[in-house]
């Protein structure tokens, strides 16, 4: 099978429930492509090597025009890219500025201290399920939980969710490299419009917070000065757009994939009930086994690079297939087994290197709390259908709904 | 009895003595048990303390964030050993297979592992070294005393020697808002380990944090008051500084004196051993029952021209201890080479410095990412047209890549571009290491000895 055929199959919605056999097929050639498509890198060591390789860029301006067109990665003429799509030194400066109110070294206890607040949100959501015998885990818990959390952290009013939900979904769908070039061009129009709308909305909030700051990240970005100074107004907007979307479009899948995986492994579910300390390693295994971000389709080469015997030319589009690397038998024994306390689990679920997940400590804590509480409090949860209906997105992969029947809610 | 039969019996009921109960000794003991060694295991240490971790002593301990006696090394597994702490080894009889201890005891062994490490080089003028307020920093006891003095708010601290330890001490002083003068014989701090180009950055860093940095000077004398407390230091440029605490950070001396007439190939540069950690005797013949690991060992490395490397690196001590332990209880066909990629880190003045490879071997340096002026960069070091080392200031995320470059003997200067390449990163410049025959504080890697072979080996580390 050619690489294009394989990529098309990976992106094909029909294969969303189980792309892993396709990844196994891909790994037989660690780096593949045909004339027009991107280079797909699928083995653990090759992916990890490129994540640490300074000859790899995340900036779409370094793609050749042909590669940019073939993969639908064009510049938004209205709004500059966020630090996710920038290289050092701009990336490093913006990430440091964004990290200042969120994590170490300046605010090392931020996520740790949110433990009680996060647990309260989960408890409230599960309490709200009393009296029901059927739930949709996505709409009832997996989605509202991280959205509420990121809104509180950033300082975005939770009730505005009805506004930004659709914009966020459209922008997240833009990551999905599916469709003909024409379809992708049309989709990019929608994505750019959604980015503009979300940017306008957040710009208004940032201005409010600048005038009367509160204890949240938008206020900190708008008012605080550190060794790097301050972000420009446009940088504040692109960064908050990024954080708002990344803060929930991924964690929703981590929690849903987690519950789905537990329901498919009842012995592990039972173990987590009696052994809450298992949540730490279990979430790491989940990030390996069913990573919420399946591939990183936004990399390019600054120079000709040889990877596993294949020469990738300068300016090529490169997709790093992290979910495939996570199932590489060269790295993980028995990779297709879910082993909740797997030793030496250096998965690629949060990426690696300079773009490694900004919100990883928060995502870990959210997933650990949600899954521990769900298995503790849901009585006799059962899957209504397996596989459940998936979202279209092949990059941010996860169920759109996860209908469950339950016997009740425990205290 | 066959040799195999001997090995089986040895693994079951043999006697292993480990001389040196710090990081390498402890990790080796644990590895021996993990390898299935069931015989008698004795650990000898000259300090009375259980094995503890040293990197925090010049950082968190001096800042008062961690008490000095809270740096005990975590135990990986039970070692079921007889501990002889507080009793230094004083002699070795190779023929009789016997170690003498300071308290008069003797320990018989079937196999011996030497992990005696290094100690701080003291101030050479003994009377001056005895003045109250003059310190070195190597042990837990040193750290307790120095921390006590820093906490009391001295008027000025003088640090003699701006290697890694000296620079970290100066950094801790500034963080505590204690005035500090640093005297360095070389042209810049860290110059022996990282060269003059990076040394200049370290100098800027110190000055920006308010260190009174004096390079190219020697301390010619320490003067005390009538009560025997240090008061003044005199420099070779004719100046003097008033100080009530002096920290001598002039590098380390290998603890090999106790082996002086043992017949083992031990000297001021350490104990020479093969890549399998077996010690050489003075005739250059490799022993089969004496092994060496950690700071006191020097062993040939194929990646670096088979030069004998002495590494005062935390990670090297752990890796070499594990290889030595494995080889001590394995048949020759199962033995493994110690092919550690030299690497170390330092935290000072808010900057995380990391290094891979052997910078002091280099003749050229090129800043491949970031900028020296911003004190945030990655520099590649070249030797005879290949990449031999890399150093990062606050850019440690890139080191994995450069480590692979070193392993592959990639060409230098690098032919490719990278993210964050600045104009200063287009050309290599002289790495500017001082003449190694003029040691100052000493780098943390020293090169010595040379094998006549200079073949390029292909070295591909086994990945899991």
Q: What is the mean pLDDT of residues B232-238?
A: 98
Q: Indicate if the alpha-carbon torsion angle B187, B189, B193, B198 is positive or negative.
A: negative
**Is residue B241 within 8 Å of residue B235, measured between CB atoms?**
yes
- The pLDDT-based confidence of B194 (bands split at 50, 70, 90) is very high
- The DSSP output letter for A400 is S
Cis before A239 (ω within 30): no
Confidence (pLDDT) at B436: 66
Cis before B413 (ω within 30): yes
Q: Under 8 Å CB-to-CB from B350, ≥6 apart: which residues? A: none
Distance from CA of B421 to the nearest CA of A (A): 9
**Tokens representing residue B382 in the block:** 């070249």
Q: What is the mean pLDDT of residues B285-289?
A: 94
Q: Which residues of chain A have pLDDT under 70?
A: 1-4, 34-35
- The pLDDT-based confidence of B69 (bands split at 50, 70, 90) is confident
Do A57 and B417 count as a contact with CB atoms less than 8 A apart? Answer: no
* Alpha-carbon gap, residue B128 to B122, rounded angstroms: 10
CATH of region A3-409, choose from 3.40.50.1970, 3.50.30.50, 1.10.630.10, 1.10.357.10? 1.10.630.10
Tell me the per-residue pLDDT of B89-111, one tens digit each, with 9 for 90 and over: 999 999 999 999 999 999 999 99
Q: State how far the alpha carbon of A133 is from the alpha carbons of A119, A264, A327, A405, B248, in Å.
A: 23, 20, 36, 6, 73
Question: Residues 410-429, chain B: which have Cβ within 8 Å of A?
Answer: 416-420
Do A88 and B370 count as a contact with CB atoms less than 8 A apart? Answer: yes
- The pLDDT-based confidence of B363 (bands split at 50, 70, 90) is very high
Q: State how far the alpha carbon of A304 is from the alpha carbons of A12, A54, A212, B69, in Å.
A: 30, 12, 51, 53
Q: What is the separation of C-alpha B190 from the centre of its chain, rounded to a whole number of angstroms?
A: 14
Which residues in chain A have Cβ-Cβ distances shorter than 8 Å to B419? Answer: 54-57, 87-88, 302
Which residue has tokens 């308290």? B103
- The DSSP output letter for B185 is S
Q: Write down all domains in chain B, each with its CATH number in brackets.
A: 3-119+253-334 (3.50.50.60), 126-247 (3.50.50.60), 343-433 (3.30.390.30)
- The DSSP output letter for A109 is T
Domain ranges of chain A: 3-409
Do A55 and B417 count as a contact with CB atoms less than 8 A apart? Answer: yes
Tell me the per-residue pLDDT of B113-130, one tens digit each, with 9 for 90 and over: 999 999 999 999 999 999
Confidence (pLDDT) at B449: 55
CA-closest candidate to residue A36, choices A137, A177, A130? A177
Confidence (pLDDT) at B441: 55
Confidence (pLDDT) at B383: 94
Cis before A119 (ω within 30): no
Confidence (pLDDT) at B206: 98
Do A54 and B376 count as a contact with CB atoms less than 8 A apart? Answer: no
Q: In whole angstroms, how large is the CA radius of gyration of chain A? A: 21
Tell me the per-residue pLDDT of A224-254, one tens digit each, with 9 for 90 and over: 999 999 999 999 999 999 999 998 889 999 9
Q: State the DSSP H helix or E strand holding residue B447, giving kind and residue range, or none if neither.
A: strand B445-448
**Is pLDDT above 70 for B463?**
no
* Alpha-carbon gap, residue B158 to B181, rounded angstroms: 5
Confidence (pLDDT) at A14: 96
Q: What is the mean pLDDT of residues B441-447?
A: 63
Residue B378 at interface with chain A, using a CB cutoff of 8 Å: yes
Do B464 and A92 count as a contact with CB atoms less than 8 A apart? Answer: no
Residue B464 at interface with chain A, using a CB cutoff of 8 Å: yes
Do B418 and A92 count as a contact with CB atoms less than 8 A apart? Answer: no
Confidence (pLDDT) at B260: 92
Residue B71 at interface with chain A, using a CB cutoff of 8 Å: no
**Is pLDDT above 60 for B450?**
no
Confidence (pLDDT) at A76: 81
Q: Tell me how long chain A is.
A: 411
Which residues in chain A have Cβ-Cβ distances shorter than 8 Å to B463? Answer: 45, 330-331
* Alpha-carbon gap, residue A52 to A54, rounded angstroms: 6
**Is pLDDT above 80 for B443?**
no
Q: Under 8 Å CB-to-CB from B188, ≥6 apart: which residues? A: B162, B196, B199, B200, B202, B203, B215
Which residues in chain B have Cβ-Cβ distances shorter than 8 Å to A335? Answer: none
Q: What is the mean pLDDT of residues B224-228?
A: 96
**Is pLDDT above 50 for B458?**
no
- The pLDDT-based confidence of B402 (bands split at 50, 70, 90) is very high
Best probe of the B interface among A30, A46, A50, A54, by most B CBs < 10 A, is A54
Which residues in chain A have Cβ-Cβ distances shorter than 8 Å to B374? Answer: 89
* Alpha-carbon gap, residue B448 to B250, rounded angstroms: 19
Confidence (pLDDT) at B452: 35
Phi, psi (degrees; rounded to nearest 5) at B273 = -145, 165
* Alpha-carbon gap, residue A50 to A355, rounded angstroms: 12
Q: State how far the alpha carbon of B348 is from the alpha carbons of B94, B351, B458, in Å.
A: 44, 5, 36
Distance from CA of A260 to the nearest CA of B (A): 30
Confidence (pLDDT) at B460: 45
Confidence (pLDDT) at B142: 96
Which residues in chain A have Cβ-Cβ distances shorter than 8 Å to B370? Answer: 88-89
Do A54 and B464 count as a contact with CB atoms less than 8 A apart? Answer: no
Do B419 and A88 count as a contact with CB atoms less than 8 A apart? Answer: yes
Residue B227 at interface with chain A, using a CB cutoff of 8 Å: no
Confidence (pLDDT) at A154: 96
Percent of chain B with pLDDT over 70: 93
* Alpha-carbon gap, residue A15 to A385, rounded angstroms: 16
Helix (H, G, I), strand (E, B) or coil at B440: coil
* Alpha-carbon gap, residue B57 to B71, rounded angstroms: 8
**Tokens representing residue B177 in the block:** 């808002």
- Helix axis angle, A251-264 relative to A279-289, nearest 10°? 100
* Alpha-carbon gap, residue A103 to A98, rounded angstroms: 9
Residue B400 at interface with chain A, using a CB cutoff of 8 Å: yes
CA-closest candidate to residue B16, choices B328, B415, B376, B416? B328
Distance from CA of B416 to the nearest CA of A (A): 6
**Tokens representing residue B341 in the block:** 């990629």
Confidence (pLDDT) at A3: 56
Q: What is the separation of C-alpha B217 from the centre of its chain, rounded to a whole number of angstroms?
A: 25
Do A89 and B420 count as a contact with CB atoms less than 8 A apart? Answer: yes
């Amino acid at each position: 099978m050619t690489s294009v055929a394989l990529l098309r199959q990976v992106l094909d919605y029909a294969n969303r429930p189980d792309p892993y056999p396709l990844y196994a097929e891909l790994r037989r050639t660690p780096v593949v492509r045909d004339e027009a498509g991107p280079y797909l890198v699928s083995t653990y060591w090759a992916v990890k090597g490129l994540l640490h390789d300074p000859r790899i860029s995340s900036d779409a301006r370094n793609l050749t025009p042909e590669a940019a067109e073939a993969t639908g990665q064009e510049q938004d003429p209205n709004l500059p890219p966020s630090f996710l799509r920038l290289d050092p030194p701009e990336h490093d400066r913006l990430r440091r500025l964004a990290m200042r109110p969120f994590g170490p070294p300046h605010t090392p206890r931020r996520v740790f201290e949110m433990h009680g607040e996060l647990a309260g949100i989960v408890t409230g959501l599960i309490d709200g399920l009393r009296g029901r015998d059927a739930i949709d885990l996505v709409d009832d818990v997996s989605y509202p939980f991280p959205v509420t959390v990121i809104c509180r952290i950033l300082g975005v009013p939770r009730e505005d969710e009805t506004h930004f939900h659709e914009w966020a979904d459209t922008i997240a769908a833009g990551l999905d490299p599916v469709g003909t070039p024409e379809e992708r061009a049309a989709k990019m129009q929608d994505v750019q419009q959604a980015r503009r709308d979300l940017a306008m909305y957040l710009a208004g909030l940032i201005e409010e917070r600048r005038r009367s700051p509160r204890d949240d990240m938008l206020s900190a970005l708008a008012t605080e000065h550190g060794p790097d100074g301050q972000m420009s107004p446009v940088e504040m907007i692109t960064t908050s757009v990024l954080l708002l979307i990344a803060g929930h479009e991924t964690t929703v899948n981590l929690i849903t994939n987690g519950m789905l995986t537990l329901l498919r492994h009842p012995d592990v579910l039972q173990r987590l009930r009696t052994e809450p300390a298992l949540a730490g390693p279990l979430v790491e295994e989940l990030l390996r086994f069913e990573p919420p971000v399946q591939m990183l389709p936004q990399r390019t080469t600054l120079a000709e690079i040889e990877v596993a015997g294949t020469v990738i030319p300068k300016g090529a589009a490169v997709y790093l297939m992290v979910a495939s690397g996570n199932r590489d038998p060269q790295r993980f024994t028995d990779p297709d087994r879910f082993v909740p306390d797997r030793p030496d689990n250096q998965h690629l679920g949060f990426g690696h290197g300079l773009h490694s997940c900004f919100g990883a400590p928060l995502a870990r804590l959210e997933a650990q709390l949600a899954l521990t509480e769900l298995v503790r409090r849901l009585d006799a949860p059962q899957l209504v259908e397996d596989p459940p209906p998936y979202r279209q997105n092949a990059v941010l992969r996860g169920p759109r709904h996860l209908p469950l029947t339950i016997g009740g809610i425990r205290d | 009895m066959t040799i195999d039969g001997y090995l089986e019996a040895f693994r079951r009921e043999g006697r292993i003595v480990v001389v040196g109960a710090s990081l390498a000794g402890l990790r080796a003991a644990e590895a021996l048990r993990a390898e299935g060694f069931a015989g008698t295991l004795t650990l000898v240490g000259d300090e009375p303390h259980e094995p503890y971790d040293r990197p925090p002593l010049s950082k968190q301990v001096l800042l008062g964030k961690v008490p000095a006696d809270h740096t005990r090394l975590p135990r990986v597994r039970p070692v079921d050993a007889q501990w002889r702490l507080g009793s230094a080894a004083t002699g070795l009889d190779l023929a009789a297979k016997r170690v003498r201890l300071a308290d008069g005891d003797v320990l018989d062994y079937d196999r011996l592992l030497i992990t005696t490490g290094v100690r701080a080089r003291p101030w050479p003028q003994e009377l001056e070294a005895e003045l109250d307020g003059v310190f070195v920093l190597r042990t837990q006891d040193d750290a307790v005393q120095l921390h006590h003095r820093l906490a009391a708010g001295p008027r000025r601290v003088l640090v003699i020697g701006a290697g890694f330890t000296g620079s970290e001490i100066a950094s801790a002083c500034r963080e505590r808002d204690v005035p500090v003068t640093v005297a360095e014989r070389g042209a810049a701090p860290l110059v022996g380990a990282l060269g003059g180009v990076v040394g200049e950055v370290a100098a800027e860093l110190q000055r920006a944090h308010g260190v009174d940095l004096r390079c190219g000077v020697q301390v010619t004398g320490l003067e005390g008051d009538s009560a025997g407390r240090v008061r003044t230091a005199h420099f070779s440029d004719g100046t003097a500084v008033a100080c009530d605490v002096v920290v001598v950070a002039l590098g380390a001396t290998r603890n090999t004196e106790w082996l002086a007439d043992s017949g083992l190939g031990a000297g001021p540069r350490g104990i020479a051993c093969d890549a399998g950690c077996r010690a050489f005797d003075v005739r250059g013949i490799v022993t089969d029952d004496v092994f060496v690991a950690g700071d006191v060992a020097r062993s040939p490395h194929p990646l670096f021209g088979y030069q004998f490397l002495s590494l005062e690196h935390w990670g090297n001590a752990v890796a070499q201890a594990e290889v030595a332990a494995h080889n001590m209880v394995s048949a020759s066909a199962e033995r493994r080479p110690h092919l550690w990629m030299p690497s170390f880190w330092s935290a000072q003045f808010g900057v995380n410095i990391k290094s891979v490879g052997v910078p002091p071997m280099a003749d050229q340096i090129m800043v491949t990412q970031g900028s020296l002026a911003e004190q945030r960069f990655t520099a590649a070091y070249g030797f005879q047209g290949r990449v031999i080392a890399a150093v990062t200031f606050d850019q440690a995320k890139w080191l994995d890549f450069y480590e692979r470059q070193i392993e592959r003997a990639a060409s230098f200067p690098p032919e490719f571009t990278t993210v964050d390449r600045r104009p200063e990163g287009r050309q290599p410049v002289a790495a500017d290491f001082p003449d190694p025959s003029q040691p100052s504080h000493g780098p943390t890697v020293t090169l010595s000895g040379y094998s006549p072979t200079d073949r390029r080996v292909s070295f591909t580390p086994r990945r899991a």
